[in-house]
Amino acid sequence: MKSVEQYRNQKVLVLGLAKSGMNAARLLHKLGAFVTVNDKKDFDDNPDAQALLSEGIKVITGGHPLSLLDEDFKVVVKNPGIPYSNPIVAGALAKHIPVITEVELASQILAGELIGVTGTNGKTTTTTMITMMLNQRTDAGKAYVAGNIGVPASAVAQKAQPNDTMVTELSSFMLCGIETLHPHIAVLTNIYSTHLDYHGSRENYIKAKMRITMNQTADDYFVVNWDSEEWRNLSQQSAAQVVPFSRQHNTEAGAYEKDGQLYFKDEYIMDAKDIKIPGDHNVENALAAIAVAKLSAVPTAGIVQVLKTFSGVRHRTQYVETYEGRQFYNDSKATNIVSTEMALKGFDQPVVLLAGGLDRGNTFETLAPALKDHVKAMIVFGETAQKMADAGKLAGIETIKFTENCETAVPLAWDLSEAGDIIMLSPANASWDQYPNFEIRGDRYIKAIETLTGKAEEN
């Protein structure tokens, strides 16, 4: 951890708790700042706020009072999910008070190297692959995952040594709040249209994503998906050395697939079919990770070892188990159409699809071709159940069942399946109509599978 003096004896507001706010507050307190934490949850129902108060940190709960802006804060560290339309945030910016996110704070104290990964889909899988590959090196420090993957970057940055690497998943929300964050290697997996309710437009969303490279120089690397003209053009905004990866083009300047084989520049790495997790999207994730690993001097044997054994990240096309010839997959993280489309394209076997969730006003006609090619039956639930069913009918799927949620969908899917089928939760929607987050949705799905197969513990 670097020695940082810029916060000593300075008043700092931490807006919003959860993991990032908790860790930011504790770090700032350690750095000698006068920290005020403001969280909308009432104090009596707020164990995080109670814990911080017991540690000597000032807390204000139950709302976001505008009177906070009367205090002479030098900086605001906000939870990434709090929009910039929030009156406290907007008021701070109007007063020219910097508003940053916890990853910016983490980058300021990080003594080791920073690798940043962003994109619409594939961030978590790519981040995990990269970290596992870097840890195959025997002559370098340890690599840690951090950021949007669920591990607060400020906690990792405090323990990382100068020869360590922090591989950080960076959401668009996080990137809006950076100023000096400087990845030596930045990765852009892809960009599709999502989170437009937060950013206001696709243009703003793209601008947020491209902030990952804004502080890079010619001594750094920008690893970019080369399979879209838009993404290729975006790479021109970077001052870093652009390293492409592609499934569709023979990009000999980077990582690519050719005739079912994966290469980095002119070096053969492995056959694509030997990647353990299925799907073309995971080939893309692997190529991005290969590029970063080769730039980081990971031996090819270490790269191959990871890709042949890595079974996937929980809730992201995660293999659960095989029971009486049916393979169960948990893809609860598929909160948009593109994610579900990619997951479906990863299978040659017939799929019984469990889908539905929060209604954000989307329609699902664009999913119909993937449904037609891969799905034999659908179980739909949640606010978008009818819309998902409409897409299924458009695709010509004859068997579509309605149910309450993803747990009640499991026995129905079993009844509609036969040996050789895939049963997969890949909702194409956010979870918030029925579940606090996609992780809990996925956990409930897995629990329902355990109940079906008799593996659930008896209570």
pLDDT in tens, 220-253: 999 999 999 999 999 999 999 999 999 998 888 9
Give Cβ neighbours of residue 173 (< 8 Å, ≥ 6 apart): 80, 81, 101, 195, 198, 208
Axis crossing angle, helix 438-453 with helix 406-416, rounded to the nearest 10: 40
pLDDT the model gives residue 316: 83
**Secondary structure percentages of the chain, helix, strand, coil, to 5:** 40, 20, 40
Q: Residue 200 annotated as binding?
A: no
Evaluate whether 297 touches 326 at the Cβ level (below 8 Å).
no
The answer to whether residue 5 sits within a structural domain is: no
Chain Cα centroid distance, residue 111: 24
**Distance in Å from the first CA to the final CA of the chain:** 46
Beta-carbon neighbour count of residue 60 at 10 Å?
A: 16
How far is Cα 100 from Cα 43, in angstroms, rounded to an integer?
25
The residue among 75, 100, 125 that closes a domain is 100
pLDDT the model gives residue 424: 98
The answer to whether residue 4 sits within a structural domain is: no
Positions of E strands within 342-440: 351-355, 375-380, 399-402, 422-425
DSSP of 418-430, one letter per residue? -TT-EEEE--SS-
How far is Cα 425 from Cα 446, in angstroms, rounded to an integer?
10
Residues 214 and 226 grouped into a single domain: yes
Number of domains in the chain: 3
The residue among 80, 100, 120 that closes a domain is 100
The answer to whether residue 283 sits within a structural domain is: yes
Beta-carbon neighbour count of residue 452 at 10 Å?
A: 17
Chain Cα centroid distance, residue 355: 20
Residues 94 and 177 grouped into a single domain: no
Q: What are phi and psi of 319, to 5 degrees?
A: -70, 130
Residues 280 and 330 grouped into a single domain: no
Radius of gyration of the chain (CA): 23
Residues 383 and 436 grouped into a single domain: yes
Cα–Cα–Cα angle for 20, 155, 215, rounded to 5 degrees: 80
Q: Residue 124 annotated as binding?
A: yes
**Coil, strand, or helix at residue 332?**
coil
Give the CATH number, domain containing residue 35.
3.40.50.720
Cα–Cα distances (Å) from 326 to 157, 261, 291, 424, in that order, read 43, 29, 35, 10
In the predicted model, residues of the chain with pLDDT beneath 50 are 457-459
How far is Cα 130 from Cα 115, in angstroms, rounded to an integer?
9
Token couple for 421: 């089928």
Q: Residue 302 annotated as binding?
A: no
Residues 223 and 332 grouped into a single domain: no
Instruction: Using DSSP bridges, classify how beta strands 221-225 and 185-188 pair: parallel, antiparallel or unpaired.
Output: parallel
pLDDT the model gives residue 250: 84
Evaluate whether 380 touches 405 at the Cβ level (below 8 Å).
no
Q: Residue 121 annotated as binding?
A: yes
Residues 371 and 398 grouped into a single domain: yes
Q: What are phi and psi of 114, to 5 degrees?
A: -110, 125
Q: Residue 123 annotated as binding?
A: yes
Evaluate whether 422 touches 352 at the Cβ level (below 8 Å).
yes
Residues 274 and 412 grouped into a single domain: no
Q: Residue 213 annotated as binding?
A: no
Residues 281 and 375 grouped into a single domain: no
Residues 265 and 203 grouped into a single domain: yes
Residues 241 and 356 grouped into a single domain: no
The answer to whether residue 6 sits within a structural domain is: no
Evaluate whether 280 touches 286 at the Cβ level (below 8 Å).
no
Residues 271 and 168 grouped into a single domain: yes
The residue among 77, 100, 123 that closes a domain is 100
How far is Cα 296 from Cα 299, in angstroms, rounded to an integer?
9
Beta bridge partners of 326: 323
Which residue range is the domain that position 45 belongs to? 11-100
Residues 109 and 177 grouped into a single domain: yes
Cα–Cα distances (Å) from 449 to 112, 330, 405, in that order, read 42, 10, 13
Q: Residue 56 annotated as binding?
A: no
Evaluate whether 141 touches 134 at the Cβ level (below 8 Å).
no
Evaluate whether 83 touches 89 at the Cβ level (below 8 Å).
yes
pLDDT the model gives residue 458: 37
